[in-house]
């Protein structure tokens, strides 16, 4: 359990650094929302969506058989 928790923490950190600031993020790189929807969000909304996307991606990565080996 601790290994997965540490995997998730490190993966969230890595993905957040790759994503950068939500205000400067290219909307085309958001696979979860259209550019139109992304651009309608305020800074807080962008941070919430990006946080959720990063956390979800980290969870899937760390519970997959390949990710759990990290």
Which residues lie closer than 8 Å to 38 by C-beta, 6 or more apart? Answer: 25, 27, 30, 46, 49
pTM for this prediction? 0.75
Residue 38 has pLDDT above 90, yes or no: no
Higher pLDDT, 56 or 66: 56
Through-space distance between the first and last CA atoms of the chain, rounded to whole angstroms? 13
Q: Residue 38: exposed, middle, or buried by beta-carbon count in 10 A (0-12, 13-18, 19+)?
A: buried
Q: Which band of pLDDT confidence, cut at 50, 70 and 90, is reported for residue 70?
A: low
Q: Which band of pLDDT confidence, cut at 50, 70 and 90, is reported for residue 62?
A: very high
């Amino acid at each position: 359990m601790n290994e997965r928790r540490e995997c998730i923490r490190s993966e969230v950190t890595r993905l957040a650094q790759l994503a950068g600031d939500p205000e400067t993020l290219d909307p085309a790189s958001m696979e979860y929302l259209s550019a139109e929807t992304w651009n309608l969000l305020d800074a807080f909304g962008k941070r919430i969506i990006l946080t959720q996307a990063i956390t979800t991606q980290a969870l899937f990565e760390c519970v997959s058989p390949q990710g759990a080996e990290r």
